[in-house]
Amino acid sequence: MKATATANSNIALVKYWGKRDERLILPQNSSISMTLDGLYTTTTAEFSEKHRKDEVTIDGKKVAGEELDRVVRQLNLVRRLAKTHLSAKVTSKNNFPKAAGLASSASGFAALTLAATKALGLHIEKKELSMLARQGSGSACRSIYGGFAEWVKGSHHDGSDSYAKQLAPKEHWPELAMIVSVVTAEEKKVKSRAGMSQTVANSPMYRAWLETVEEDLKNVREAIMERKFTQLGTAAELNALKMHATMHTTTPHIIYWQPETITMMKEVMQMHEEGIECYFTIDGGPQVKIVCMDKNAGKIAKRVKGMAEVEKVYVCHAGEGARLSNKELF
Ligand code: PMV
């Protein structure tokens, strides 16, 4: 009745932005991501009579309120499948700051879903696991897979055709790197969830997002399959800017960028101009992630580390999918 799982975070190259169903977490558009080797969450879940209610600890802190509710909701999904009412103790540890736009909800919900299903003795296929993880946090469905994954949006009302699948394993493109820098490790004020629904509701740019996202998906999918770096970086950068344009133009506006974010974007453009080919992508937070080839990663990381704005730098490559672990957290 106890299991531990580790899942890596993933960064979208074509972003998931906007839901068509808030409860089931069904997206308006498909998305494509790279699972990162350097950022991960490990979670131990134990179901037992001795636990009188669900108790959740993340990075040494007991969680309460909305954060606890989200985990309990996910545990309820798994309990329903396993036909049990047992309460759980869940302990989770991230090797990076959570809720700062480094996709901790992706690795967190992927690890939780795998640990909880295993603890309750459920044997489910990756596709089903991905659909379950999706209901915790949309982007989590992609972290079930290593390498490169596409979350296919689907069209069914019950969500039965909205899941992630692997486009290519991590061995497919080991020369590709993603540099993740932390400019301010504060927790963000507007969660992706709230930002997303507001954007769908009233950004005049949201229509343009939906009208052009298929083109981005096609370009990024092909770039991954054929290992075309320039095509990948160009399409990913444009896609991130379009997503932020929808946020900048929603009312009230949502601007996740900090002055440091812009400084970093400019630095990426400067390096690119100097002949070090690299591109940026940004999620629901101030962090800038740089897509580059491994041969330039050391040089870029050194430049970025030298910037006053930057607190921490992780050089990542495509990583593994969610997996069981024997390193119990309690
Ligand atoms: O899964 P959520 O609800 O944390 O949303 C993630 C949204 C983005 O990170 C901005 C984009 C993405 O596809 O990961």
Q: Which atom of ligand 1 is nearest to the CA of 31?
A: 13
Token pair 């959740």 in the structure block, residue = 56
Separation of CA 1 and ligand 1 centre (Å): 31
Alpha-carbon distances, residue 99 vs 7, 106, 314 (angstroms): 16, 10, 16
Label residue 98 by pLDDT band (50, 70, 90): confident
- pLDDT score of 99 more than 60: no
Name the closest-CA residue to atom 6, ligand 1. 139
Q: Is the pLDDT of residue 190 over 90?
A: no
Which CATH number fits the domain 176-316, given the four candidates 1.10.3720.10, 3.30.70.890, 3.20.20.70, 3.40.50.11540?
A: 3.30.70.890
Residue with tokens 């506006």: 253
Average pLDDT, the chain: 94
Kind plus residue range of the DSSP H or E element containing 198: helix 192-202
Q: How many Å lie between the centroid of ligand 1 and the Cα of residue 83?
A: 30
pLDDT of the residue at 92: 97
Check pocket membership of 138 for ligand 1, CB cut-off 6 A. Answer: yes
pLDDT at 38 (0 to 100): 87
192 within ligand 1 shell (Cβ under 6 A): yes
Question: Does the beta carbon of 137 lie inside 6 Å of ligand 1?
Answer: yes
Bridge partners, residue 45, by sequence: 3, 90
Q: Is 139 in the pocket of ligand 1 (CB under 6 A)?
A: yes
Q: Which helix (H) or strand (E) holds 273?
A: helix 259-273
Query: Does the pLDDT value for residue 101 go beyond 70?
Result: no
Cα dihedral across residues 97, 287, 220, 19: positive or negative: positive
* pLDDT tens per residue across span 118-143: 999 999 999 999 999 999 999 999 99
Our answer on whether the CB atom of 284 is closer than 6 Å to any ligand 1 atom is yes
Ligand 1 mutation target, pool 139, 141, 143, most atoms within 8 A of CB: 139
Calculate how far, in angstroms, residue 15's C-alpha sits from the geometric centre of ligand 1.
7
Other C-beta atoms closer than 10 Å to the C-beta of 259 total 10
Neighbours of 212 (CB within 10 A): 14
Q: Of 102, 192, 254, 257, which is best to mutate to test ligand 1, by the most ligand atoms within 8 angstroms of its C-beta?
A: 192
Note whether 102 and 10 are within 8 A (CB): no
Q: Where are the domains of the chain?
A: 2-170, 176-316
CA dihedral 226, 228, 232, 233 (to 10 degrees): 160
Kindly give the distance from the C-alpha atom of residue 53 to the centroid of ligand 1, in angstroms, as a whole number.
30
**With bands split at pLDDT 50, 70 and 90, how would you rate the model's confidence at 285?**
confident
| Ligand 1 touching residue 31 (CB < 6 A) | yes
pLDDT band at 308 (very low <50, low <70, confident <90, very high): confident
Closest residue to atom 8 of ligand 1, CA basis: 283
Give the tokens for residue 13: 């190259």
Check if 16 has its Cβ closer than 6 Å to any atom of ligand 1.
yes
Of 3.30.930.10, 2.60.40.3680, 3.30.230.10, 3.40.50.1000, which CATH number belongs to 2-170? 3.30.230.10
Per CATH, 2-170 and 176-316 having the same topology is answered no
Higher pLDDT, 182 or 237: 237
Atom nearest to 243 CA in ligand 1: 10
User: Ligand 1 atom closest to Cα of 10?
Assistant: 14
Counting ligand 1 atoms within 8 A of each CB, the residue from 10, 15, 29 with the most, and so the one to mutate, is 15
Q: How far is the CA of 18 from the centre of ligand 1 (A)?
A: 9
CA distances from 168 to 17, 102, 227, 257, 318 (A): 23, 22, 11, 31, 10
Q: What are phi and psi of 258, to 5 degrees?
A: -105, 165
